[in-house]
C-alpha cells in the first residue's frame, strides 16, 4: 500500500514540476528538510490537490489546497550537532549531516538565533551519534508565530552545562532556553530538562486562547495553518464533544466555547499534563483531559457525546476503533488528519458515513506533506 501511494505521489510530482523555479536555499538538493523548492508554489498546491483527489477518488473531492505562507512558517526545527556540522540530515541518509548556514523554512527570529548559535558554539564538542561519544547533540529552536516568542534548547549527553560562557551574551535574545539531557543510545532531541537558562516556556495564542509551550511539549508546526484548521473544526462542534487523540489539548481548548463540554483523550501523560496547564491558564471550565488509550476509552463511553473530533497519528486509527465509533451513531464526525491515505482508509471503514466535505491544508510547504479535514455525515 505504502509503495502504491509513493508511486502515485512521485508520478504526480514529476508531472507537476513544470518549468521549475530557482531554489531560495543553497542547501536544496542535499538537505532532507525540503523537497519542492524547485517547484513553483502554485504547482506544489496543484500536486497536493491531485494527490488527495487521487486517493479519495469516488469518495470525495477537494476544490483546492488552502495555501500557507510558503517560507518562514515552521515553529520548530531540531538541528543536529555532529561531525563538525550543525544542521539537518541529508535526504535519505541518516549518517550524513548537511551543515546548514540558515534555513528558509524556519521563522525569521528563530532562524537568526540559529545562525548566531552556529558561530557562538563552534568550539563546543558535538556528539558522534554513530560511535556515541561527545557532548552537544541537538540545538532545538522554536518560535510561536503569533506572539513572536522564541525558545532555544540545547540537548546534551551529560548533565552539565559546558556552554555557560559562550551562551551568556546570547540568552537575552530568546524568551526561553533550557539544557536537556539525552544520555541514551537513541537519537532523541528531547529528554530531561536539567537546567533552565532563561524563562522556561513560550506562549502561542490562537484567537485569544493561550498555549504554553514547554521544552519537551508538542505543538503544531505551522500556526497559520493550524489556526485555519481549528476555526474550520469549530464550525462543526456542538453539545458534549469528544476530542480523541487530543495531544496537548489545543483543539479541545479552542473549540470549548462552541461546546457544552469537551473531553480530550490522549495516551501520553505529559501531553495531558500540558493540556491541564493550558486549561487553567485560559480559565476554561468546560474541558477535561483524560490519559487513556482511545480504544479503551471509547469502548466505555459510546453513548455520552454529541460531537466527535478525531485527529489520530499518521498511522490512522486502530481498526478496532471503527465498531465503537459507528455504534456512537452520531450525525456528524469531524476527522482531521496529517496523512490523507490513512484518513481515506478509516473513512472507508466507517461504512455508514459519507464525506459531506473534504478540505486540504498545506501545513508543510516545500515538503510532500498535506493535512485534511473531512466532515462525515451519517447516511
Ligand X SMILES: C[S@@+](CC[C@H](N)C(=O)[O-])C[C@H]1O[C@@H](n2cnc3c(N)ncnc32)[C@H](O)[C@@H]1O
> Which residues, in sequence order, are CB contacts of 7 under 8 Å at separation 6+?
none
**Of 167 and 308, which CB lies nearer to ligand X in the complex structure?**
308
* DSSP category for residue 120: H
Q: Does 245 bind ligand X (CB under 6 A)?
A: yes
Helix 2-16 to helix 41-55 angle, to the nearest 10 degrees? 140
Residues 152-191 that bind ligand X (CB under 6 A): none
Q: Whole-angstrom Cα distance, residue 248 to residue 299? A: 22
State the nearest-atom distance from the C-beta of 293 to ligand X, in Å. 4
Selected binder of ligand X within 204, 266, 359, 362 (CB under 6 A): 266
Q: Does 341 bind ligand X (CB under 6 A)?
A: no
Selected binder of ligand X within 77, 262, 271, 272 (CB under 6 A): 271
State the nearest-atom distance from the C-beta of 144 to ligand X, in Å. 14
Look up residue 246 and give its three cell numbers.
487530543
Q: Does 371 bind ligand X (CB under 6 A)?
A: no
- Residue 338 is a catalytic residue: yes
Cα–Cα distances in angstroms (integers) from residue 36 to residues 10, 69, 70, 129, in the given order = 12, 14, 11, 29
Q: Does 24 bind ligand X (CB under 6 A)?
A: no
Residues 211-240 that bind ligand X (CB under 6 A): 218, 220
Q: Does 316 bind ligand X (CB under 6 A)?
A: no
State the nearest-atom distance from the C-beta of 363 to ligand X, in Å. 11
Q: Does 335 bind ligand X (CB under 6 A)?
A: no
State the nearest-atom distance from the C-beta of 154 to ligand X, in Å. 25
Q: Are 329 and 305 in contact (CB under 8 A)?
A: no
State the nearest-atom distance from the C-beta of 252 to ligand X, in Å. 8
Selected binder of ligand X within 104, 215, 247, 316 (CB under 6 A): 247
Q: Which residue is nearest to ligand X, using beta carbons?
A: 247
Cβ–Cβ contacts within 10 Å for residue 352, how many?
Answer: 9
Q: Whole-angstrom Cα distance, residue 30 to residue 88? A: 9
Q: Does 300 bind ligand X (CB under 6 A)?
A: no
Selected binder of ligand X within 8, 40, 258, 268 (CB under 6 A): 268
Reported in sequence order, the residue ranges of 83-200 that DSSP labels E, i.e. its strands, are 85-90, 93-99, 127-128, 133-134, 136-143, 150-156, 176-181, 192-198
Cα–Cα distances in angstroms (integers) from residue 100 to residues 89, 90, 273, in the given order = 10, 11, 35
Q: Spot the catalytic one: 338, 351, 356, 359.
A: 338
Residues 29-88 that bind ligand X (CB under 6 A): none
The size of the chain, in residues, is 379
Q: Spot the catalytic one: 224, 266, 359, 371.
A: 371
Closest-CA residue to 49 (of 21, 7, 13): 13
Q: What is the largest CA-CA distance in the chain?
A: 65
Part of the chain binding ligand X (CB under 6 A), chosen from 140-148, 169-177, 246-254, 325-333: 246-254
Q: Are 341 and 353 in contact (CB under 8 A)?
A: no
Q: Does 293 bind ligand X (CB under 6 A)?
A: yes
Which residue shows C-alpha cell 538538493?
29
Chain contacts with ligand X (rule: CB under 6 A): 218, 220, 245-248, 250-251, 265-268, 271, 293-294, 311-313, 338
Catalytic residue numbers? 338, 371
Amino acid at each position: 500500500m505504502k509503495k502504491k501511494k509513493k508511486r502515485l505521489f512521485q508520478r504526480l510530482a514529476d508531472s507537476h514540476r513544470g518549468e521549475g523555479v530557482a531554489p531560495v536555499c543553497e542547501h536544496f538538493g542535499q538537505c532532507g528538510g525540503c523537497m519542492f523548492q524547485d517547484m513553483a508554489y502554485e504547482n506544489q498546491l496543484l500536486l497536493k490537490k491531485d494527490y488527495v483527489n487521487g486517493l479519495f477518488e469516488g469518495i470525495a473531492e477537494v476544490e483546492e489546497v488552502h495555501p500557507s505562507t510558503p517560507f518562514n512558517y515552521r515553529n520548530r526545527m531540531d538541528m543536529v550537532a555532529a561531525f563538525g556540522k550543525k544542521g539537518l540530515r541529508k535526504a535519505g541518509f541518516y549518517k550524513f549531516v548537511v551543515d546548514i548556514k540558515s534555513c528558509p523554512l524556519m521563522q525569521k527570529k528563530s532562524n537568526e538565533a540559529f545562525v548566531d548559535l552556529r558561530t557562538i558554539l563552534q568550539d563546543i564538542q558535538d556528539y558522534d551519534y554513530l560511535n556515541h561519544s561527545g557532548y552537544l547533540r541537538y540545538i532545538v529552536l522554536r518560535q510561536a508565530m503569533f506572539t513572536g516568542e522564541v525558545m532555544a534548547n540545547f540537548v546534551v549527553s551529560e548533565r552539565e552545562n559546558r556552554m555557560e560562557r559562550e551562551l551568556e551574551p546570547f540568552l537575552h535574545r530568546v524568551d526561553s532556553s533550557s539544557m536537556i539531557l539525552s544520555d541514551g543510545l537513541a537519537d532523541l532531541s528531547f529528554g530531561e530538562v536539567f537546567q533552565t537558562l532563561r524563562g522556561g516556556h513560550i506562549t502561542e495564542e490562537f484567537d485569544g486562547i493561550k498555549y504554553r509551550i514547554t521544552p519537551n511539549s508538542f505543538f503544531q508546526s505551522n500556526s497559520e495553518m493550524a489556526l485555519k484548521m481549528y476555526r474550520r473544526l469549530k464550525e462543526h462542534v456542538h453539545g458534549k464533544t469528544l476530542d480523541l487523540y487530543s495531544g496537548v489539548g489545543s483543539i479541545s481548548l479552542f473549540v470549548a466555547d462552541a461546546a457544552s463540554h469537551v473531553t480530550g483523550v490522549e495516551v501520553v501523560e505529559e501531553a495531558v499534563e500540558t493540556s491541564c496547564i493550558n486549561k487553567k491558564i485560559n480559565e476554561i471550565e468546560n474541558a477535561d483531559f483524560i490519559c487513556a488509550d482511545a480504544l479503551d476509552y471509547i469502548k466505555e463511553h459510546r453513548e455520552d457525546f454529541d460531537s466527535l473530533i478525531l485527529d489520530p497519528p499518521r498511522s490512522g486509527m486502530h481498526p478496532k476503533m471503527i465498531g465503537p465509533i459507528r455504534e456512537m451513531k452520531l450525525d456528524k464526525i469531524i476527522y482531521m488528519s496529517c496523512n490523507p491515505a490513512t484518513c481515506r482508509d478509516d473513512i472507508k471503514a466507517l461504512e455508514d458515513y459519507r464525506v459531506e466535505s473534504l478540505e486540504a491544508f498545506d501545513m508543510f510547504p516545500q515538503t510532500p506533506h498535506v493535512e485534511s479535514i473531512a466532515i462525515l455525515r451519517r447516511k
